Structure 1
Amino acid sequence: MGLLVCVIWLAACTSKTDTNKNEQTADWKTEFRKKLPLLGHRNWILVVDKAFPLQQSAGMEYIYAPEGMEAVLREVILGIKASDHIKPIIYRDRELEFVKRLVGAKADQLIQSTQAILKGTAVNTMLHDSVFKQLDREAGLFKVLVIKTNETVPYSSTFIKLDCGYWDAAKEAAMRKEMTGH
């Protein structure tokens, strides 16, 4: 009888853990989908590794996504590309290429899979500390949505600056030129 109770209890705990994980996964996606239409030109979305620090800036907002970098980045990029009001400008840490040599296959696999997700979009690199300086300046004026993943490859974060999806630099320049003539 005692063994049967243990088996039933263990099954219930395992089932509850799976249910909680599924709920957490659904929760971050729901929260992200609610926030995406509110974000626009000059806002940021960061998909970051597990060690990314919780920052004090008022403009920083955090969501925890209990998944790996690839799944979360794919969801975010698909959401941005499906939106007509924004387009992504992608930044990654310059250090990631050098970490690959020290971490090995796990980092190499992550780099390859995230490059496939970002295919067709220019990827800029910058030193990790430069990213923090830029975010510190921008978070004072514009919302920065940070989605923290379970990823443990260092310097694997992707920083996405949002640009206007229906207006570009050429149109802006033409308008400004016309304005000076009037």
Structure 2
Amino acid sequence: MKKYIILSLVICLTVACGETNCNLPKPEKTTVVKVDWEDELQDQVKLLGHRNWIVVVDEAYPLQSSPGIMMLRSTAGHVETLISVKNIIDGQRHIKPNVYLDKEIDYIDEDLAPGITDYRETLNRVLGQKNVEKVIHEDIITMLDKASEQFKILVIKTDFTIPYTSVFFQLDCKYWNTEAEKQMRDKMEGN
């Protein structure tokens, strides 16, 4: 009986609104705002600090669902995006990068992924060897997933189509290092 009363009320309200032209708010359309990825990166990098990540990825990299992960789409090429991201990070006074690459990149042959040899050479020129560590791809993804539970991860996706070419910048404090931290902790234990 209650169901029929509620249904009757809904029908009456629907008919009444139709006859009197009720001005019920209409749902707004979703607005998609295109942002320039470099402008957004410039804004975000000022907010990021140690334990945050910035990642430059290839086209097949998945859109992750963790709320700590923000994805931007680059309109530049992969290498150009990588150089721009590195320059923006290097230009900050508060952060420095620890760089991770997929370990798999060293085991891909040119016949499996044309262009990989040139890309590896470009990576060596752009990144150098300092603070670059190669880790199995799934292990890096696990690191990102764990970090995204507490910290922001900014992923910049490119149109690059060579596998295992993502570059992971784990941000660290530029003006404080592990030696200084250890000295301070040792001093604290002494008191």
Both proteins in one fold, TM over 0.5: yes
- Residue type at the aligned position of 1:102: D
Question: Matched residue of 2:86: which SS?
Answer: helix
In structure 2, how many angstroms separate the alpha carbons of the residues matched to 1:167 and 1:118?
22
Compute the displacement of 1:69 (Å): 1.6
Q: Which runs of 4+ in 1 moved over 3 A?
A: 100-105
In structure 2, how many angstroms separate the alpha carbons of the residues matched to 1:110 and 1:175?
42
Q: 1:23-172 residue pairs with structure 2 within 5 A?
A: 27-103=36-112, 105-119=114-128, 121-172=130-181
Structure 1 residues without counterparts, runs of 5 or longer: 1-23
In structure 2, how many angstroms separate the alpha carbons of the residues matched to 1:67 and 1:112?
20
* 8 A contact 2:113–2:162 mirrored in 1: no
Question: Matched residue of 1:155: which SS?
Answer: coil
In structure 2, how many angstroms separate the alpha carbons of the residues matched to 1:99 and 1:66?
26
Which protein shows a greater Rg?
A: 2
In structure 1, how many angstroms separate the alpha carbons of the residues matched to 2:112 and 2:75?
22
Compute the displacement of 1:102 (Å): 3.5
* 8 A contact 1:73–1:114 mirrored in 2: no
Q: What percentage of aligned pairs have identical amino acids?
A: 37
In structure 2, how many angstroms separate the alpha carbons of the residues matched to 1:168 and 1:102?
43
- Residue type at the aligned position of 1:39: L
Compute the displacement of 1:148 (Å): 0.4
Compute the displacement of 1:46 (Å): 0.4
* 8 A contact 1:85–1:164 mirrored in 2: yes
Compute the displacement of 1:163 (Å): 0.4
Question: Matched residue of 1:162: which SS?
Answer: strand
Size of the aligned set, in residue pairs, is: 158
In structure 2, how many angstroms separate the alpha carbons of the residues matched to 1:29 and 1:92?
22
Normalized per residue, which structure has more helix?
1
RMSD: 1.5
